[in-house]
Chain A
């Protein structure tokens, strides 16, 4: 079962920052937070992941709270091509299989 809670849908204006929240209150100390997105008719696309510290790459930033019970994915300047379903995943510890368990995700609609 997915260990995360995300809003089912969100809207964002083109050019604005998209902030996608995720709750993972039962996360364990060695479990990573991953974000993927899935654009219609394509496979899930890896975005970013982190353990404790905030992370940034060319696609997005990941902000993890100090208690690690929630995180936020930030797309700094959303474009129409960022319209997709975004999945927040708490990855099971590798000693227990390291599986990626996808939940229902947040459907982000970027509007002109």
Chain B
């Protein structure tokens, strides 16, 4: 079965450019999560969606970050304008249902470098 699919796997761009990260959750999963991983802060939850609706975006660092989920099989995380401190690995995860008993399954991430 296909897992969570993220693209691109690597992105290098210059400061000030717009960056769009993409995610396809596991089919049938109702919840989608965006995380960011850095050496300093570890893995942090940025935002999550239920049935395409954003539920909690308290982890989004700044207004430069935005996330959308136009349908059940696609989500984007956008950074505009990008800054060097945004360099990190960004992960998308999905889970079948809500609840502490529901595992989240992660994609392999997008390694973002802002020069």
Residue B88 interfacial (CB < 8 Å): no
Contact A98 B98, beta carbon cutoff 8 Å: yes
Chain B, interface SS category: loop
Q: Are B103 and A98 in contact (CB under 8 A)?
A: no
With an 8 Å Cβ cutoff, the count of chain B residues facing the other chain is: 18
Name B94-115 residues within 8 Å CB distance of A. 98-101, 103-109
CB of B34 within 8 A of chain A? Answer: no
Interface assignment of B91: CB less than 8 Å from any CB of chain A? yes
- Say how far B62's CB is from chain A's closest CB, in angstroms: 20
User: Are B100 and A44 neighbours in the complex by a CB distance under 8 Å?
Assistant: no
B107 touches A98 (CB 8 A): no
A42 partner residues in chain B, CB cutoff 8 A: 108-109
The residue that A46 contacts in the complex, of B100, B101, B104, with Cβ under 8 A, is B104
A residues contacting B by CB (< 8 A) are 30-32, 34, 41-46, 49, 51, 91-94, 97-100, 102-104
- Nearest 4 pairs of A and B residues by beta carbon: A43-B106, A102-B43, A46-B103, A94-B100
